Amino acid sequence: MQRFLVSLAAVGALLLVSGAAMMPAGPSPESGLAGMWRVIGAKPAPWSKPRKLTGADAPLLEFALGFEDGAVKGPAPLGCDHATYSSGVSYQDDLFGGRFAKDASGAMAKAVDLDTSSPTTFRVICGASVRDFYVDKDSNLIVAEGDVIYTLARPSGMDVAQMAPGFSGPSFDCTKAKTAADQMLCSDAGVARNDREMAQAYARLKRTETPQSFASVQAAQRAWLAYVLKSCHGSGPMPEDQGAKNDLQGCLGDAYGDRADRLKNIAVATSGALILEPRMRYFTRAKPDTEDSDIYPWMSGGPQAQAFNAWIAKSLALSKRRIDDKDLFAFTPDQIGDLKLSARRTYTVYRFDDRIVSFETYVDDYTGGAHEVLSEKQFNWDMRKAAPIAPGDVFVKDWKAAVTDYCLADLRKQFGEARGAAGEEGLKRADVAAVVDSGAFLFGTKSLRVHFTVYTITSFAGGEYDVDIPYKVLKPYARVDAPFL
């Protein structure tokens, strides 16, 4: 790199004469500049009147930019469709168009995190416009737009290949970020994305749920946020120690990622005037550090709802907290130490209409021990009879053998296509029959799904399998009043 010996005001003239004072401008950015950057900070320029910035004062905050061959992808005025690049070292007299020329004490440079009087500089030329990006003491970029100094950093917390130019911040105004948690949400691209997706899912639930059900979502979300701030130590100032910062990033990343997934994967379902919507409960315990997140279906909109909800409350034991289950949480606080425990349950609707409600709950618990506890359970409800559906209620004799035979043939085909799961020779009729006998069914609109969870017919590496049996195959074994016919 060569030194910039001229001010911004003179750069146009310099470009017309000898380029000896700096590297010649070209269409490709240097490796130190090329690629994605995020605007993670904004502050009043040291030559301006001190003030507290707002989102309106710093409109570029939390946007991502891509410095590419011939273009800068990103928001105006930083974006440029026809860019050329140069680089060098700027002297103090040239910084920010000469505004630091009289900064003899170095106070202005310190205010913008420049610890040298001649910082490495990347220059972007866009037609008649010239903009300098200076490398600060943390190897970030700083650039001025009006009387605001923006800080750009390489994206952290997510694969750069997943990033695109444009807004990349969380759901709130980062000029108001005060706590360590908020500051991390603003500076880390991965956590910011999780927060943004979670906020979108939360807003969707607010729009689509009844006020009674959304009240449970709101209460659970507030309790969740309070727990995360406490358990991640995010309510105070940002720690100075890098290890503590990494711990905060990891804790928030795990918590926000899990919560975003849970909220994104639930939705309101309707059938005529009836509504099947998610309700939530959230509990915590201090010793040992434990959270209990419960998301379950609830019906409203008609007289059919009362019987269904009573069945849900009994089947899912809503009068109790899973966090208090001594069989589930058998380890003592002394045995657990500083580990964080969790009991998490959610659900997915497979069918909801005037005949059948069919859904599956998913449990993801960590209760001590060496591994998480993952399990699934299927629930089926006959809307016309206002009663749960048991296999014996809808099938006549010999149905088990027929269903087992169909599953065996289908699984052998799936194993042959997958190759390497368990192999056809590892499939045992007794294992398949046991799953069929357990009633691990989901009633769809056109077929019955038999669900084989991990370990039931294969090793853990074999994973899960579903077999869908068309109702036309099952019709000879079904009662005439079966709700799926």
| Residue with tokens 């169909």, as numbered in its chain | 406
Identify the DSSP state of 202: H
At 332, the pLDDT band (50, 70, 90 cuts) reads confident
The confidence score (pLDDT) of residue 3 equals 41
Residue range 356-405, pLDDT digits in tens: 999 999 999 999 877 777 889 999 999 999 999 998 889 998 999 999 99
Residue 346 CA to its chain's centroid (Å)? 16
Pinpoint the residues of the chain covered by CATH 3.90.640: 393-477
For residue 421, pLDDT over 60 is answered with no
For residue 7, pLDDT over 50 is answered with no
Q: What is the reported pTM?
A: 0.85
The confidence score (pLDDT) of residue 333 equals 79
Task: Report the distance separating Cα 107 and Cα 99, nearest Å.
Answer: 12
Residue range 62-117, pLDDT digits in tens: 999 999 999 999 999 999 999 999 999 998 888 999 999 888 888 999 999 997 77
The confidence score (pLDDT) of residue 370 equals 75
Task: Report the distance separating Cα 48 and Cα 147, nearest Å.
Answer: 6
Own/partner pairs, 247-254, CB within 8 angstroms, 24+ separation: 248/180, 248/181, 248/184, 249/156, 249/157, 249/184, 249/188, 249/191, 252/181, 252/184, 252/185, 252/188, 252/191, 252/228, 253/157, 253/188, 253/190, 253/191, 253/194
Evaluate whether 238 touches 183 at the Cβ level (below 8 Å): yes
Residue range 426-480, pLDDT digits in tens: 688 999 999 999 999 999 999 999 999 988 888 766 788 999 999 999 999 999 9
Give me the architecture of the 393-477 domain, per CATH: Alpha-Beta Complex (3.90)
Task: Report the distance separating Cα 72 and Cα 64, nearest Å.
Answer: 11
- For the segment 13-31, the average pLDDT, to the nearest whole number, is 62
- For the segment 309-327, the average pLDDT, to the nearest whole number, is 96
Residue range 160-171, pLDDT digits in tens: 777 789 999 999
Task: Judge: domain 187-385, CATH 3.40.50.300.
Answer: no
Q: Which residue has the higher pLDDT, 242 or 415?
A: 242
Pinpoint the residues of the chain covered by CATH 3.30.565.40: 187-385
